[in-house]
């Protein structure tokens, strides 16, 4: 016999704890109810699926499929184009490279700095005067240029006079 015989006999008293007599039949009834509800849930889902399938089988003809399919493809294309154009940043996966910034060498534009007294005069002292002259040329029919302004325009090289005529370049089309 075990040294724990007394404790085993004591703990065995727990077998007297039991549910009421009608527990088993009630339990079985609930089990049936549960099985039925599971079956109904399954069958209602399959019924719904069948009806939806049938509905689309009857409704959708090949010609009718083309229009929504084309619309979907169009929407997808627009969406894709917007995504590419929206400047997505590259991430760790490196999925997009279209929005990568320009290399630093290319992004540096050459500076156009010509240090000239005449340019400074044009830019600083006579800028307003040139603007006034140009505006007047624009609105006046008289296109005679004032002699003191001709040198400015021709020397600066950066400002093309409004009244200058464009001459055809010989051999341009060659």
| 38 vs 129, beta carbon nearer another protein | 38
Stretch that binds another protein, among 19-27, 59-67, 72-80, 93-101 (CB under 8 A): 19-27
Query: Is the separation of the CB atoms in 119 and 109 below 8 Å?
Result: no
Query: Is the separation of the CB atoms in 159 and 153 below 8 Å?
Result: yes
* Residue 56: HSE in the Cβ half-sphere, 13 Å Cα cutoff: 6
31: contact with another protein by CB under 8 A: yes
Query: Is the separation of the CB atoms in 84 and 96 below 8 Å?
Result: yes
30: contact with another protein by CB under 8 A: yes
Reading the block at residue 103, the tokens are: 């290399």
| 22 vs 125, beta carbon nearer another protein | 22
Stretch that binds another protein, among 4-12, 88-96, 97-105, 124-132 (CB under 8 A): 4-12
Min dist. Cβ of residue 36 to another protein (A): 11
Min dist. Cβ of residue 93 to another protein (A): 38
Residue 50 CA to residue 79 CA, distance in Å, equals: 34
Among 15, 63, 138, 174, contact with another protein (rule: CB under 8 A): 15
| 16 vs 139, beta carbon nearer another protein | 16
- What would the x/- binding string for another protein be over residues 65 to 104, using CB under 8 A? ----------------------------------------
28: contact with another protein by CB under 8 A: yes
How far apart, in Å, are the Cα atoms of 118 and each of 14, 121, 127, 145? 114, 5, 12, 19
Angle at 141 between CA 140 and CA 143, to 5 degrees: 90
Query: Is the separation of the CB atoms in 121 and 149 below 8 Å?
Result: no
Residues that bind another protein (CB under 8 A): 2, 4, 6-20, 23-24, 27-28, 30-31, 34-35, 38
């Amino acid at each position: 016999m075990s040294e724990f015989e007394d404790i085993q006999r004591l703990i065995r008293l727990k077998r007297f704890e039991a549910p009421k007599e009608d527990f088993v039949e009630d339990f079985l009834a609930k089990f049936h109810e549960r099985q039925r509800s599971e079956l109904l849930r399954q069958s209602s889902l399959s019924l719904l699926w069948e009806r939806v399938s049938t509905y689309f089988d009857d409704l959708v003809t090949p010609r009718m499929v083309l229009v929504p399919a084309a619309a979907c493809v169009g929407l997808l294309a627009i969406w894709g184009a917007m995504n590419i154009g929206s400047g997505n940043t590259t991430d760790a996966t490196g999925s997009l490279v279209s929005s990568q910034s320009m290399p630093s060498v290319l992004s540096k534009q050459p500076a156009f700095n010509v240090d000239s007294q005449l340019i400074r005069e044009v830019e600083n002292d006579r800028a307003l005067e040139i603007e006034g002259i140009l505006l007047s040329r624009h609105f006046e029919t008289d296109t005679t240029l004032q002699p003191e302004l001709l040198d400015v325009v021709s020397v600066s090289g950066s400002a093309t006079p409004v009244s200058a005529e464009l001459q055809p370049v010989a051999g341009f089309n060659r």
